[in-house]
Amino acid sequence: MNLTEEQILALAPDESSKKSGKDLANASKWVTKSFNDQALWGECQGSGSKPYQTQVDLSGIAFKCSCPSRKFPCKHGIGLLLLFSRQKNIFSEAELPAWVNEWLGKRAEKQEKQVEKKDAPVDEAAQLKRQQARVKKVNDGIQELKLWLKDIIRNGILLMPEKGNAYFEGMAKRMVDAQAPGLANMVRQLGAINFYAEGWESIFLEQLSKIYTVAESFLHIDALPDVLQQDIRTGIGFTQSHEELKSQDGITDIWLVLSKQTSEEDNITTEKFWLYGTKTRQHALVLQFIVRGQGGQLSLMPGLFIEAELVFFPSVTPLRALVKKQIAITSAISFSKYNNWLQVAEAETQYSSILPLGGERAYTVQQLKPVQIAGKWWLKDAEGSIMLLQNENKVIWNLLALSGGDALDMTVIGKEKDFEAVGIWKDETYTIL
């Protein structure tokens, strides 16, 4: 396992954990520190009478610590892993002690159970009745939503910037009442558009069209193919049982973690892990929702190659997935990349033609070079095609410094013609921008 310091620090839940973790990456803080192929463990003398027992599962990068911290991973986990990456030679190779063995055993057992877990017997008649009632509620809600959409279109969207958040929030709440949380979110996104930015009109209309497409499609859902029905149901906000998904066979591959995006709203942190199957050439988006104070199950770092079994949510263009089983972290392997922007555009076209509602995807494109045209930064491929760099303010200086004007293999996330650069490949090493 060769994790870079940046990758380890990317696991920390916040800046203070990063800082404290760095402080604890110091041999003098650890009473004991050992490792073997499976795990890494150590005892850290904290403020309590007994040292804290910290352990890291190396096969799947998971943490456990006896400290009382609510953060996950805690500073001790980060510190121990950092110290291991810096000075592996000061760790003694040893047999697993009972406390580590017990934890690893429980983890394996839990993973098995999760796979085997079956839902308790359900009352199918009652369930069908509930589903029918919900469909009716959603249909009623959609009728109201369509009236609202048509009002907007009739009067023109020119007045939208003056409407204020309450205008959109009111309809979003109505959609929540109609048990269509997916539509509610889409309506909220309408209100969240930056009306001061140039081109908001086009973005607004795109979002409006998507809402209409999902809503109208649901009204005619029976006429759609089965898998596409799932996409529309997901758009409305129907959830899929994770247990049920995990009971299905997944796709085992060596997945490269391309990026981790984190956002926080209402005490819930959403982590988006963008993965790429190096053998199957399939993209995957794994979401993790963490309620403040609780730990997440997944600890994936950009640039990491993991061998894992993923189960995709049913869709005509499968993207969102669950990690059914994480087998091991493997060393970097070569993988196929997109040759140029045209190939990316062709892939996008393919996805859009199957599902007009598709969102962003991650691509690794060969030999992109930053170029400045009329004060804006673009990414130019080997054929001379250019794509505007959307997150210029955030990444351009690191990108330029690393490139020095040379072309680099680059990972971008986006759709159609809007892409953000998230990482670069240089000398077989992935660097997060």
Partner 1 sequence: MEFWDDIVNTAMIGTDKKQTTPALLPQELAEATGIIQANTALDKEEMFLQTAAVALNFRQSGFVPVHNASDIEKAPSEEKKYCSNDALQCLKNILSEESVPLLQLWLEQCESKQRVVSPVLVPALLAAAVQQKKLQLLVHACCGRRGEWLGKFNTQWNFSSGDAPEQVWQTGTMEMRKNIFGEIRKANPAQALEWLQQTWKEEDANAKTAFLELMYTGISEADLPFLESLSGEKSKKVKDEAMHLQRCVPSSPIVTRYQQALAQRVHLKKEKALLGLMNKSFLLFNASPLEDDIYKSGIEKLSNSKEFTDDEYILFQLTESVPPSFWEKQWQCKPREVIDHFQKNEVAKKLVPAIVNAAVKFNDRDFAIALMQYSEVFYIDILPLLPSQQQEHYGIKFFSGHPDSILQYALQYEKEWSLELATLIFNHASKNPYQYSKSFFNIHIHLIPASVIPELEKLSPAEDYYKTMWTNTCAYITKLVQLKHQTINAFKV
Residues that bind partner 1 (CB under 8 A): 5, 18-19, 22-23, 26, 86, 146, 149-150, 153-158, 201-202, 204-206, 208-210, 212-213, 216, 341-342, 345, 348-349, 352-353, 356, 369-373, 378, 380-381, 383-387, 397-398, 400-402, 404-406, 415-417, 431
- Looking at beta carbons only, is 18 or 233 nearer to partner 1? 18
* Coil/strand/helix, residue 77: helix
Beta bridge partners of 274: 259, 285
| Interstrand relation of 52-57 and 62-65 (parallel, antiparallel or unpaired) | antiparallel
State the minimum distance, in angstroms, from the CB of residue 79 to partner 1.
13
- Whether a cis peptide bond, with omega within 30° of 0, leads into 314 is no
Taking the C-alpha atoms of residue 365 and residue 341, their distance in angstroms, rounded to an integer, is 7
- Looking at beta carbons only, is 65 or 433 nearer to partner 1? 433
Q: Which two tokens stand for residue 394?
A: 């955030």
Phi and psi torsions of 376, nearest 5°: -110, 150
Kindly calculate the radius of gyration of the chain based on its CA atoms and give it in whole angstroms: 24
CA atoms within a 13 Å half-sphere pointing along the CA-CB vector of 177: 11
CA atoms within a 13 Å half-sphere pointing along the CA-CB vector of 149: 24
Query: Do 321 and 284 meet the contact criterion of CB atoms below 8 Å apart?
Result: yes
State the minimum distance, in angstroms, from the CB of residue 405 to partner 1.
4
DSSP letter at 159? G
- Looking at beta carbons only, is 31 or 342 nearer to partner 1? 342
- Looking at beta carbons only, is 327 or 400 nearer to partner 1? 400
Taking the C-alpha atoms of residue 308 and residue 67, their distance in angstroms, rounded to an integer, is 30
State the minimum distance, in angstroms, from the CB of residue 358 to partner 1.
9
State the minimum distance, in angstroms, from the CB of residue 326 to partner 1.
29
- Looking at beta carbons only, is 213 or 367 nearer to partner 1? 213
State the minimum distance, in angstroms, from the CB of residue 371 to partner 1.
5
- Looking at beta carbons only, is 158 or 197 nearer to partner 1? 158
Q: Which two tokens stand for residue 427?
A: 């000398």
Query: Do 153 and 212 meet the contact criterion of CB atoms below 8 Å apart?
Result: no
* Coil/strand/helix, residue 175: helix
State the minimum distance, in angstroms, from the CB of residue 21 to partner 1.
11
State the minimum distance, in angstroms, from the CB of residue 224 to partner 1.
15
- Looking at beta carbons only, is 144 or 307 nearer to partner 1? 144
